[in-house]
Amino acid sequence: MKDAVINRIVIIVFLLLCLIPSLGMLIFGQSEAAANEVLSQFPAIRENNGKMNKDYLSEIADWAGDRFAFRQELVTAWSGLNASLFRTSVEDKVVIGRNGWLYYSESLDDYMGLGLEDEKLEAVARNLSLMQEYAESKGADFVFSIAPNKNSLYPEAMPAYVPRSDGSGNAGKLVPFMERYGIRYADLFSAFSDENRVLYFKTDSHWDSEGAALAADVILTGLGRDGSFSSSGFTDGEEHTGDLYEMLCPVGKYTETDRRYVPGFSFTTAKDPNGGNAISIESSCGAGNGRLLCWRDSFGVSLYPYLAESFRDARFSRSASYELVRLEQEETDAVVIEIVERNIAYLLEYMPVYPAPVRDLPARTSEMPALTVSAEKGRTAASSDMTLLQCVIPAESVQGLTRAYFVCDGVCYEAAILYPEGSAPVVSAWIPSGETGSIAVVYGNESVMCFSNAA
């Protein structure tokens, strides 16, 4: 009898514990997203065509699983237990290092030397050279910079089970190709390596404010401007919660002290609702001079204030479209592109928006079967009078693709070479919308040049 009572008590307690997450949603509300987490949306019972949503039950389960009460507290406790006892991470995007250091797992390929092939790295450099050529043709200085992965600069705390390559990651392998194509490159790796201080957060994937100041100095020097922010004085500033730590411990309390730029900033912003995270930020500074157009990623959150302080007017964008064609409408003195090392491959996935340069038609050495060319008119105000031509080049048709052109109504346009993830090379070019009559594709390398009409 006593055993039966104990069993009933255990069952009741177990059921009550199971009900806490769902009942907690009614009492305390839903759990919020943490760090970069994207939560499932509440599903519709019926689809847009009026039919029943066959996946409704699984989708509602995902929605509830993302939002049940005390979820973040339980995730934090479980993460802490695994980190303390087993030195393992329950979050796929976080690598637990030594001495409290955390690293971003998406940087491991560079760390282990599993980067892009030389053919793709050359395509990156070649595409950058076309962007630089266009910017300079509009009277703007051009600088490209790569924000180093944290473990590229500070590998000492990386876990021993992750093998480090004897060679370079994508950034290091890209440098010789950029030198070959004459890219104006602001070398942040050398600048950070020369410093005797750690300029990245231990629990974040990004540099701190002093690191951002040093990066700004290197970029400004590359533009032929004065870069002296990093030597102007810093003091302890606000407490900072690292993005990697927040992924692991959504309600954890650990913070690091960021540094504050002592002279302060005088620029103003027309819009910056998310503390530097906005897709587009426009700034003005009476103490600056010239106009800047800058594309940046999350490293630009702390970088952009220093650049904004240096220019009379500046526009900062987190869009991957690289709408350089804005230079047609906006008089610009400088163009800066900043991208983190682990995302260099993005430069092979998205076609920048600029008019393709007109070239002399190269001599062709062989005729190839017709290829399918797609044509899409620009969708934004800046690109509305241009058409994007794209064509997939069969991998077996040419080895070492380094040059590509579209011939449209007798005019030859040099094209960029992209490698969208899992795809054969795609040649792409923006041309005037009225010149899409007869189209041919010319592609190859220094020794072979193939010619194909459009299908």
Are 268 and 119 part of one and the same domain?
yes
| Beta-strand pair 416-418/411-414 | unpaired
Contact 69, 21 (CB under 8 A): yes
pLDDT of 92 reads 82
Q: Which residues contact 376 (CB under 8 A, 6 or more apart)?
A: 387, 388, 390
Are 374 and 299 part of one and the same domain?
no
Mean pLDDT across the chain, nearest whole number?
85
Q: Which of 51, 69, 87 is the last residue of a domain?
A: 69
> Averaged over 426-434, what is the pLDDT?
92
Rounded CA-CA distance 225/384 in Å is 34
11 residue type, one letter: I
Give the model confidence (pLDDT) of 166-210 as tens digits: 878 999 999 999 999 999 999 999 999 988 899 999 999 999 999
Rounded CA-CA distance 241/275 in Å is 14
pLDDT score of 276 more than 70: yes
pLDDT of 363 reads 86
Q: Which of 69, 92, 123 is the last residue of a domain?
A: 69
> Averaged over 143-152, what is the pLDDT?
97
Give the model confidence (pLDDT) of 344-385 as tens digits: 999 999 999 999 999 998 887 788 888 999 999 988 888 889
Are 304 and 334 part of one and the same domain?
yes
Name the residue range of residue 424's domain: 358-453
Are 41 and 124 part of one and the same domain?
no
* Chain centroid to CA 290: 27
Among 36-45, 108-117, 164-173, 377-386, the minimum mean pLDDT is found in: 36-45
pLDDT score of 25 more than 70: no
Among 12-26, 134-148, 225-239, the minimum mean pLDDT is found in: 12-26
Asked, for residue 64, whether it belongs to a domain, the answer is yes
Are 327 and 398 part of one and the same domain?
no
Q: Which of 348, 371, 405 is the last residue of a domain?
A: 348
Are 306 and 444 part of one and the same domain?
no
Are 26 and 167 part of one and the same domain?
no
* Beta bridge partners of residue 268, listed in sequence order: 284
Q: What tokens does 235 get?
A: 């003091």
Among 17-26, 190-199, 229-238, the minimum mean pLDDT is found in: 17-26
* Beta bridge partners of residue 141, listed in sequence order: 334
451 residue type, one letter: F
Q: Which of 193, 201, 262, 208 is nearest to 231 (CA)?
A: 262
Q: In the 8-state DSSP scheme, what is residue 104?
A: E
Are 272 and 385 part of one and the same domain?
no
- Answer with the residue of higher pLDDT: 69 or 162: 162
Task: Count up the domains in the chain and report the number.
Answer: 3
CA 202, 207, 213: angle at the middle one, nearest 5? 140
Are 217 and 320 part of one and the same domain?
yes
Are 323 and 398 part of one and the same domain?
no
Instruction: Give pTM, 2 decimals.
Output: 0.83
Exposure class string for 268-280: b at 16+ Cβ within 10 A, else e: ebeebeeebebee
Are 277 and 329 part of one and the same domain?
yes
Q: What tokens does 325 get?
A: 């064609």
